[in-house]
Structure 1
Amino acid sequence: MQPLSFEQLLNLDTTKHTDHEILDFIGELFDLALDNNDVRGIDKGIELASTLEYSNLSNQQQIFFNYYLANGWSSKRAFNRFQTTESWDFDQEELSKELFHLRSCISIEGFEEAQAELQCQIYTNLGNHFSHVGRFVEAQEYWNKALAVISYFPMALGNIGVGLFYYAGCLHIESHKNIFIHYAHGFLKKALALKKYLHPSASEPFKQLLNNIKGQWPKEFLNSNLNVAFDLGKNKQLREYREWGIENKLYLNPLNDIGALEISSHDCLHLPSMTVKLDATPKYHTLFNQIKQEYGTARFLYYEGTQLPKQSYSDKDVGLVDTLDYAEYSYNVEKVKIAYRLIFSLFDKIAYFLNEYLNIGMPKNKTSFRVLWHEEKKGRCLRSQFMGSKNLALRGLYWLSKDFFDKDHVHAIAIEPEAKELADIRNYIEHKSFKIKQYGNWGELEDDFTYSIGREEFEHKTLKQLKLVRAAIIYTSLAIHHEELGRKQKNTVPMYLPDMPYDYKR
């Protein structure tokens, strides 16, 4: 069949074509819309998508369907909002739809068998989306997933560089900023060394940013071999714990997002400098200390429960009956369950912090991470405190909140696919019957009474939530930094809070 022109595609009669042909037309329309700078192609492609019978498509075709639509909504956002004040809106239909379709791609059975380049592009686009909405910590994971498929994929390399550059702009530790810039420079150079594989629309921005970096930082620094070594300790157990922590990017240290750097093997993240009244108590630092300590405890409990599978002598005295269904009960299992509960409680403590700091006005006994962002009245519109905000890390927290199950479906379109299951697990651990099994079915409700899940799957979900709350804690610190920079400066008296000695911890 002869290729159709842009105008022919805009006036397409779908009754004369199969679903498979229409799928190809959707991809062509989105490409031609950009080439012709004509948003009509985007609207027509989205319209055509609604006429398809999705269930008639094979799994691989469904991946392409969602990939095309994610690109379409991304392009529509560019047409509607590029370089406008609306580009900073926390709520954007285009962003929600784009995320929905990108996540749909990777959740389809057989995604790992899709073309390697397609997998890389989808992972890269997910990283770009996360970085754009302010979830720049998590963006790194998606770009690195692309590199795990093709280690030299230039779009992922370049966007890691871009992401690190803008991440650096949110930091409040100057030495960390410089290290981020050094690595951003390196990734951009790697991407541009593969320029022949890049579209000019990508290579030019990479080149401009690289030149910008070269113009602001000394050449000797950018081309040097940074010393990121750090003494992990002489104690073998401590070294192994720290190595595991940096490998899994679990330290409250932004440098850990660059990679498994030894220098990132400590939780050095604190609140930024803050301006408060002279008679104010250090209430924000008190709560942030609590959040950090509880996070560190959850991390170590998870480590002990999964990486040090020694039997505990305390279990000798706990007599149980064998229910003959391969259920597992042990001190180590309980450590992971405690970690899971701790993790979920930390999100609400972050909401409690933000409610007070941003003067949101929610009753203290009703604050939660899910409901912080919207008015309680009918319609649940975004609170005025967040409208017009250009606080990237705060926007990241808002978009992270979309990944929590909300019975009112405020975030239904962009919700994390596992959100309801994760909420159910917490509910059953806290209040109902919950069982971890070595074999058999898992992730299901047995006899409408007990939630059952496999041990490996539960540990995987707990680690995922551990990484999520780590990102949220980092966003919180950086969001406060942005807010403090925007506050009117008055005559102040500096006050320094010293580090708490290790010996104080008993």
Structure 2
Amino acid sequence: IIREGIDLGEVTLSKTKNNRTQAYLRYCLANGYTYLHQLTESMGGIVDRTIPQSEHLLQAKRHLLQATDFEIDDPSLKVQLLVNLGNSLDTFGRGIEAIHAYNEALRLSKNFPMAVANRAKALRAFADISDKYRASIYVTAYQDIKSVLDDPKLVQVGGLEAKKAFERELTNIESRFQDKSLLKKNIKHPRYKTDGLTKFEKYYLDFCSQEGLFLNFHIHDGHCEAAIEDPVFIRLITKLDDNDTFYYFAKQLNQIKEDYAVARLNLVQSQYKQKAFDNISKRTSYVYALDYSQFNLYIGLLKSAFKDAFNILDKIAVFINDYYNLELKENNIYFITASIWEDKGAIRREILNSENISLYALYDIYRDFKSNRCQKIKQIRNALTHRRLVVFDSLITSIDDDADKHNIDSDTLLQETVNLMRLTKAAIIYLINFVNIEEEKKHKAGVKPILSMYADTSQFL
């Protein structure tokens, strides 16, 4: 019956032009494909190994992504689409992007119970890599689920099974606290101090907070100290006499985080007009082509931010190669090509057998590139790196960038850069969580006590 409904829905969709109807049909089709996975593919377990290979889940995600692309005047449908998209992304381990989808839903419908509870569930999954904010994230997730657990809309939308699943989440979190009273504690995060900050520093913090570009999961208040830091890092278990392995991988991750921080800085600087940059830009001569195309320092910084963010993905692929000792030639490793992810056209055994949801998340991002979901990102990157990308002033002229892959308007380039930065941020966090999950397996399998070694984080500025 489900297959028949899907077939009918696909046929109807191909004949429909109305945006709202298309969005609703894709919503229904996504539900159908999800149910089909549960009935015919799912093996259950803590981490379902069918997830990275499921065509049904891929189809569900595809329909939800396309449905949320539509501009529709139906807030209720839009909210449900965003929540279901968040659920779909979370199924693939892409909880950071899921949190963004839930936040978008909550902007449209404050306190929508399924968005609140699912966001808390996704947030909790990354608590263990959050350094000093680990406990507060668990408490926040717990309190958020508690706040909506008895809301009638939770069962109306998600059913009794959803409520039971969230109750299990609460039990899971409770098991991590000896002192249960901490779970009722009011988590206060004072606003970060702006005294002594320059105008640019304030602009930088506000911009990055608003766009969600810091490497953390803070959802309480974007203007507190906890929300403007990049604390996430890996933990490794090594032999006592091994003084090299941790620092080898730490330096790789340092490079990734440094590249991200620089790309983020370039992005912000590209939007911050200042006389010094104006004067520096004017020292370089560009020919005005009489078509409102723009070449200047600010546009260059925006282009650099995009390129740097994209290149981080390749470094993530190299990290995985080294961590798993796949012995692939480093010069042949690229995130968006099959080498690191597939062997003879199929998902690598190491990835599939890992049962590591964050590694599945990275693999799924690769599949988005493979399926051309990220075609726009690839086109911009290729134009910037190998050809040219001419940027036009959005306020003066309109550009059909689909007709000419070498042209783009400034607003589109800015939005695509922000989108890529968010994707890269998510990929970095998935990488860190992937490593920590693997190291936790070693911890549980070991019989000897494990001693903690704290790393110096001085920057010697």
TM-score, normalisation: structure 1: 0.81
Query: CA, structure 1 residues 132+258, in 2 after alignment: closer, same or farther (shift >3 Å)?
Result: farther
- The answer as to whether partners of 2:317 and 2:340 remain within 8 angstroms in 1 is no
Matches within 5 A, 1:278-289: 278=242, 280=244, 282-289=247-254
CA contact (8 A) 1:73 1:98 kept: yes
* Larger deviation, residues 288-297 vs 73-82: 73-82
1:144 corresponds to which of 103, 114, 132: 103
Query: Does 1:262 find its partner at 2:228?
Result: no
Identify if the C-alpha distance between structure 1 residues 138 and 258 changes in structure 2 by more than 3 Å, giving closer, same or farther. Answer: farther
Counterpart AA for 1:500: S
1:102 aligns with 2:57: no
Q: Could you tell me which residue of structure 2 aligns to residue 22 of structure 1?
A: none
Distance (whole Å) between structure 2 residues aligned to residue 289 and residue 174 of structure 1:
16
Does residue 1:497 correspond to 2:455, yes or no?
yes
- Once residues 469 and 422 of structure 1 are traced to their aligned partners in structure 2, the CA distance between those partners, rounded to angstroms, is 12
Distance 1:107 1:166 in 2: 27
Among 55, 66, 77, the residue aligned to 2:15 = 55
Partner of 1:401 in structure 2?
A: 366
Pair 1:181 & 2:138 matched? yes
Q: Any conservation in 1 of the 2:267–2:301 contact (CA below 8 Å)?
A: yes
Report SS of the residue matched to 1:312: helix
Q: Work out the CA distance in 1 between the residues paired with 2:176 and 2:31.
A: 34
Amino acid at match of 2:7: E
Alignment of 1:319 with 2:276, yes or no, is no
- 3-state SS of the aligned residue for 2:407? strand
Measure how far apart 1:99 and its partner are: 0.5
Cα deviation code 1:254-297 (max 9, x no counterpart) = 33698554213222222213326726352211111111111111
Deviation, 1:443, is 5.0
Pair 1:386 & 2:366 matched:
no
In 2, Cα distance between equivalents of 1:275 and 1:159? 35
Structure 1 residues 354 and 208, CA gap change in structure 2 (3 angstroms): closer
Match of 1:87 in 2: 48
Unaligned runs of 5+ in 1: 1-40, 407-411
Of 31, 35, 39, which aligns to 1:71?
31
Match status 1:221 vs 2:182: yes
Give 1:426's match in structure 2, choosing from 351, 370, 381.
381
How many Å apart are 1:139 and its aligned residue? 0.7
Contact 2:209-2:227 within 8 A present in 1 as well: yes
Larger Rg: 1
Q: Secondary structure at the match of 1:436?
A: strand
- 1:469 aligned onto 2:434: no
Structure 2 counterpart of 1:206, which letter? F
Contact kept? 1:250, 1:256, Cα under 8 Å: no
Residue type of the alignment partner of 2:107:
A
In 2, the alpha carbon distance for the partners of 1:70 and 1:399 equals 17
Matched to 2:8, the amino acid is L
Taking the aligned partners of 1:287 and 1:174, their CA distance within structure 2 comes to 19
The answer as to whether partners of 1:329 and 1:436 remain within 8 angstroms in 2 is yes
Asked whether the equivalents of residues 119 and 146 of structure 1 are also in contact (C-alpha less than 8 Å), the reply is yes
Q: Is the 8 A contact 1:137 1:471 kept in 2?
A: yes
Report deviation, 1:434.
Answer: 1.4
Change (3 A) 1:299 1:42: same
Tell me which amino acid in the other structure corresponds to 1:189: K
- 1:14 aligns with none
Aligned equivalent of 1:250, options 176, 198, 213? 213
Cα deviation code 1:169-214 (max 9, x no counterpart): xx24564332112111222123224225633423333344335545
Q: Do the aligned residues in 2 keep the contact of 1:391 with 1:479 (CA within 8 Å)?
A: yes
Report the CA distance shift for 1:69/1:259 in structure 2 as closer, same or farther (over 3 A): farther
1:273 equivalent in alignment to 2:236? yes
Q: Please report the RMSD computed on the Cα atoms of aligned residues, expressed in angstroms.
A: 2.6
- Relative to structure 2, which stretch is displaced further, 70-79 or 186-195? 186-195
Partner of 2:347, secondary structure, is: coil
Listed as ranges, the matches of 1:328-347 within 5 Å are 328-347=294-313
Q: Which residue of 1 aligns with 2:322?
A: 356
Residue 453 of structure 1 aligns to a residue whose secondary structure is strand
Of 70-79 and 485-494, more deviation after overlay is shown by 485-494
State the 1:440 CA deviation: 2.4
1:162–1:471: structure 2 CA closer, same or farther, 3 Å change rule? same
Cα gap change, 1:246/1:57 in structure 2, threshold over 3 Å: closer, same or farther?
closer
- Check conservation: 2:214, 2:230, Cα contact below 8 A: yes
Asked if 1:165 corresponds to 2:132, the answer is no
- Alignment of 1:486 with 2:441, yes or no, is yes
- Which segment is superposed worse, 185-194 or 385-394? 185-194
Q: Distance in 1 between matches of 2:125 and 2:452?
A: 29
Counterpart of 2:260 in structure 1 is 295
Cα distance in 2 for residues equivalent to 1:327 and 1:359: 47
Q: 2:39, 2:367 → 1: CA distance?
A: 25
* Unmatched runs of 5 consecutive residues or more in structure 2: none
Which segment drifts farther, 451-460 or 156-165? 156-165
* 1:455 is aligned to 2:420: no
Q: Report sequence identity in percent.
A: 25
> Counterpart amino acid of 2:195?
K
Q: Is the 8 A contact 2:79 2:108 kept in 1?
A: yes
The residue type equivalent to 1:264 in the other structure is A
Measure, in 2, the Cα distance between the counterparts of 1:483 and 1:398.
16
User: Secondary structure of the residue that 1:433 maps to in structure 2?
Assistant: coil
1: CA distance, partners of 2:402 / 2:174: 57
Aligned-partner Cα distance in 2 for 1:372–1:300: 31
Deviation at 1:426, TM superposition (A): 1.0
Which amino acid letter does the alignment assign opposite residue 207 of structure 2? Answer: W
* Conserved 8 A contact 2:192-2:224: no
Check if 1:210 corresponds to 2:175. Answer: no
**Equivalent pair of 1:161/1:187 in contact (CA under 8 Å):** yes
The residue type paired with residue 332 of structure 1 is Y
CA 1:102/1:309 → structure 2, altered by over 3 Å: closer, same or farther? farther
